[in-house]
């Protein structure tokens, strides 16, 4: 039997995380030819926007897709800060390498996988490396071909060269096969259009395989504030997290650790926690045992804390969203709703912004909601990143579908688009693919409140519109009848036809004088005209 065990174990091996993701690329979003293409575009564009914003640069992002052989060449270029040459391999050729892993900050990317994921996908579908051309603006341009040594999860850097040149930013050229470019909801076109909508400070240029260039120009010339790195709020912390932070803190005592590394823990609260937990807060944080950490976490549950600061959250902003909506959607009517900051899971701050747009440049799109066809188009965003996939699994979609839109006058023929952006330092995605937001209770509540508010506004507009339309109709009807009436009265009384017609029209006008959103009380008809009418015979 000992032989059998050894027998089984002779095949035992260890695998790199790159091998793991090569086998499981659907976990990174590369499943299906259409989705894989949009995923690749998404990864590079979000990196470009993040890099520019961190460096305080108004982003110019250029995206091109060119047919090449049986596949495509994807080019993404930005005007960002560039990448120092010693990091190029790590950024593009190593899985789980990045700056964002353990940061408490509102950000688009989270895992140190995205950029390398595209290189991996390109490599396994075409066998080719990805070309990187980058400069930090120091007069020298660095260029290299990057691929991944999958077995060891490290970059292969080939053909590296440096040469003088004036450039600042990064240009990526990567070939892709097994992808499909198809216009529609899940295409790069739609992804970039929505990215422009959520990032009015960015200028996005898109050249499609037919050579057609679309430019979404900046609607603002001001960068959004950079989301500040924030401290975790005690209410969100589990024992394992506390142990991890304690192992990495600069503080010398547990008391200082808690007060400095977390938000809202004052000296007074720290004392409360010390008493409740029975732990000696003068100890070094690294000496804290699991049991002690657990006692502190339990004490935290019993203490009240002020809600976390929410200045770490930078939503798109009301004015900015307004400009973007006008620019991109060109609707007849729109309204922006921004909810106040809220918390989910007791300690994670978030903000919901919603926009509702009606008519004008919008097209209808059929969508099943509550078993009825409601033509509401939903655009979902998390931290300004468009979510194009797994709509059915997303809290935003579920919230929109939970609203009884008929009450707000939205019928299957009403062309309405609802935009929801969810901003947080930690987006509760349902899965690794980051496609859909989980149905956290407080999140659903805030989205619904925003939608109901939006619903009421559009309802008022639509009723005003309907009333106005009705009144216009009545007016035109009366005007149509005014002619024969005037003719008859003229024929009978010999009065002047033109004069009668004008008077009749004025009467109609005065009853439906100014068609505005608020119906105004009817102006009384001038006495003189009434008397004259009274004299005329009934016709």
Which positions touch a copy of itself (CB under 8 A)?
1-2, 4-6, 8-9, 11-17, 19-20, 22-24, 26-27, 51, 54-56, 81-84, 87, 90, 94, 96-99, 101, 103, 111-112, 123-128, 136-138, 168, 238-240, 243, 289-291, 293-294, 431-432
What dihedral angle (degrees, nearest 10) is formed by the CA atoms of 471, 474, 479, 482? -130
Smallest gap from Cβ 482 to a copy of itself, in A, equals 54
Smallest gap from Cβ 393 to a copy of itself, in A, equals 9
Smallest gap from Cβ 23 to a copy of itself, in A, equals 7
Smallest gap from Cβ 297 to a copy of itself, in A, equals 11
CA dist., res. 329 & res. 358, Å (int): 9
Q: Which of 15, 37, 28 is nearest to 113 (CA)?
A: 28
The nearer residue to a copy of itself, 93 or 331, going by C-beta atoms, is: 93
Helix (H, G, I), strand (E, B) or coil at 200: coil
Smallest gap from Cβ 318 to a copy of itself, in A, equals 30
Q: What is the DSSP letter of 22?
A: H
Smallest gap from Cβ 44 to a copy of itself, in A, equals 17
Please check whether residue 450 is in contact with residue 409, taking contact to mean a CB–CB distance below 8 angstroms.
no
The nearer residue to a copy of itself, 11 or 531, going by C-beta atoms, is: 11
The nearer residue to a copy of itself, 135 or 383, going by C-beta atoms, is: 135
Q: Which of 315, 270, 419 is nearest to 357 (CA)?
A: 419
Q: Which of 65, 319, 344, 316 is nearest to 214 (CA)?
A: 65
Please check whether residue 351 is in contact with residue 388, taking contact to mean a CB–CB distance below 8 angstroms.
no
CA dist., res. 281 & res. 458, Å (int): 56
The nearer residue to a copy of itself, 51 or 410, going by C-beta atoms, is: 51
The nearer residue to a copy of itself, 148 or 419, going by C-beta atoms, is: 148
Smallest gap from Cβ 230 to a copy of itself, in A, equals 15
Q: Which residues contact 218 (CB under 8 A, 6 or more apart)?
A: 58, 200, 201, 202, 203
CA dist., res. 254 & res. 274, Å (int): 9
The nearer residue to a copy of itself, 289 or 477, going by C-beta atoms, is: 289
The nearer residue to a copy of itself, 192 or 293, going by C-beta atoms, is: 293
Smallest gap from Cβ 91 to a copy of itself, in A, equals 8
CA dist., res. 325 & res. 197, Å (int): 6
Q: Which residues contact 499 (CB under 8 A, 6 or more apart)?
A: none
Smallest gap from Cβ 1 to a copy of itself, in A, equals 4
The nearer residue to a copy of itself, 393 or 464, going by C-beta atoms, is: 393
The nearer residue to a copy of itself, 20 or 333, going by C-beta atoms, is: 20
Contacts 24+ apart (CB under 8 A), 180-188: 180/33, 180/34, 180/37, 181/37, 181/65, 181/72, 181/208, 181/209, 182/34, 184/34, 185/388, 186/34, 186/35, 186/38, 186/388, 186/389, 187/34, 187/37, 187/38, 188/37, 188/38, 188/41, 188/63, 188/65
The nearer residue to a copy of itself, 239 or 367, going by C-beta atoms, is: 239
CA dist., res. 411 & res. 374, Å (int): 6
Smallest gap from Cβ 266 to a copy of itself, in A, equals 28
Strand 376-382 to 416-424 pairing: parallel
């Amino acid at each position: 039997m000992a032989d059998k065990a050894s027998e089984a174990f002779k095949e035992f091996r260890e695998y790199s995380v790159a091998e793991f993701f090569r086998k499981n690329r659907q976990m990174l979003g590369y499943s299906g030819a259409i989705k894989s293409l949009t995923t690749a575009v998404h990864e590079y564009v979000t990196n470009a926007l993040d890099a520019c914003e961190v460096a305080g640069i108004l982003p110019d992002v250029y995206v091109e897709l060119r047919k090449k052989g049986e596949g495509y060449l994807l080019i993404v270029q930005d005007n960002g800060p560039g990448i120092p040459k010693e990091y190029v391999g790590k950024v593009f050729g190593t899985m789980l390498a990045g700056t964002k892993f353990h940061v408490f900050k509102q950000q688009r990317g989270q895992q140190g996988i995205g950029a390398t994921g595209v290189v991996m996908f390109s490599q396994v579908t075409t066998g080719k490396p990805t070309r990187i051309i980058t400069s930090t603006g120091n007069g020298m341009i660095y260029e290299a071909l990057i691929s991944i040594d999958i077995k060891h999860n490290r970059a292969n850097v080939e053909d590296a060269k440096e040469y003088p040149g004036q450039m600042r930013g990064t240009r990526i050229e990567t070939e892709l096969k097994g992808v499909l470019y198809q216009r529609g909801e899940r295409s790069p076109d739609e992804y970039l259009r929505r990215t422009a909508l959520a990032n009015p400070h960015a200028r996005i240029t898109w050249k499609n395989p037919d050579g057609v260039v679309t430019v979404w120009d900046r609607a603002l010339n001001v960068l959004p504030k950079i989301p500040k790195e924030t401290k975790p709020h005690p209410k969100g912390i589990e024992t394992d997290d506390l142990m991890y932070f304690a192992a990495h803190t600069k503080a010398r005592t547990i008391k200082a650790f808690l007060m400095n590394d977390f938000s809202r823990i004052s000296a007074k609260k720290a004392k409360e926690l010390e008493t409740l937990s029975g732990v000696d807060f003068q100890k070094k944080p690294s000496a804290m045992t699991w049991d002690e950490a657990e006692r502190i976490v339990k004490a935290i549950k019993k203490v009240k804390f002020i809600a976390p600061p929410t200045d770490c959250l930078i939503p798109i902003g009301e004015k900015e969203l307004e400009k973007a909506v006008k620019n991109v959607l060109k609707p007849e009517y729109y309204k922006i709703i921004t909810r106040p900051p809220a918390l989910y899971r007791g300690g994670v701050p978030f903000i919901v912004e919603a926009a509702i747009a009606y008519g004008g440049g919008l097209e209808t799109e059929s969508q099943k909601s509550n078993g009825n066809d409601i033509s509401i188009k939903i655009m979902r965003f998390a931290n300004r990143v468009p979510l194009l996939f797994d709509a059915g699994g997303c809290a935003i979609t579920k919230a929109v579908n939970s609203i009884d839109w008929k009450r707000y006058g939205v019928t299957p023929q009403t062309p309405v688009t609802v935009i929801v952006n969810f901003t947080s330092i930690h987006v509760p995605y349902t899965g690794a693919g980051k496609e859909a937001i989980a149905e956290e209770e407080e999140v659903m509540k805030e989205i619904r409140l925003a939608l109901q508010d939006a619903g009421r506004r559009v309802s008022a507009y639509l009723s005003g519109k309907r009333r106005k339309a009705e009144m216009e109709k009545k007016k035109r009807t009366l005007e149509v009848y005014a002619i024969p009436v005037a003719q008859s009265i003229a024929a009978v009384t010999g009065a002047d036809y033109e004069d009668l017609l004008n008077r009749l029209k004025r009467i109609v006008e005065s009853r439906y004088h100014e068609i505005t959103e608020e119906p105004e009380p009817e102006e009384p008809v001038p006495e003189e005209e009434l008397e004259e009418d009274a004299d005329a015979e009934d016709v």
